[in-house]
Amino acid sequence: MPQPGVTYNHMVVDTELSDEQIDRVFHALAAATRRDILRRAIEGEYSVSTLAGEYDMSFAAVQKHVAVLEAAGLIVKRAEGRERLVRADPAMIARARALLARYEELWRSRIDRLDALLSDEPPTEARPNEGE
């Protein structure tokens, strides 16, 4: 419950990821195959067996990649009969995107400060080597 007089921003709470969630997201996105599976899952819902047919690896290997994406919350899996269908979770992707946007903002501001600092300094002249 918020304290009296304190503004509580629900949007910030909803988009914040814990350190553990951040680690899982970055781990999930570290492999090209998982990024490709996620790209496909963003485009539509696919069965794991259909996805497995797209890669030069075993069905079990694709299942493991799907499990990593699912553990990160980037995709959700549901059963339909004997098939397991996967699709992207737009809410978690939005949270991950917000995280990356915050990192981008942080680094852009650091670069801007560095640019400002460097533009205030006069050009340095080459000094002769003192040992010569």
pLDDT attached to residue 119:
87
The whole model's pTM is what?
Answer: 0.71
Give residues with Cβ within 8 angstroms of 75, minimum separation 6. 37, 38, 41, 66, 69, 86, 87, 88, 89
Using DSSP's 3-state secondary structure scheme, residue 46 falls into strand
52 inside domain: yes
CATH number, residue 60: 1.10.10.10
pLDDT attached to residue 81:
92
pLDDT attached to residue 45:
96
Quote the tokens at residue 68: 């990593």
Give residues with Cβ within 8 angstroms of 59, minimum separation 6. 48, 49, 52
58 inside domain: yes
For residues 54 and 41, the answer to whether their CB atoms sit within 8 Å is no
4 inside domain: no
Q: What is the mean pLDDT, run by run of 10 residues, along the chain of 132 residues?
A: 41 66 94 97 95 95 97 95 94 91 91 87 59 53
pLDDT attached to residue 128:
59
∠ CA(20), CA(108), CA(120), 5° rounding?
140
* Residue span of the structural domain in which 47 resides: 10-118
5 inside domain: no
DSSP-derived letter for residue 116 is: H
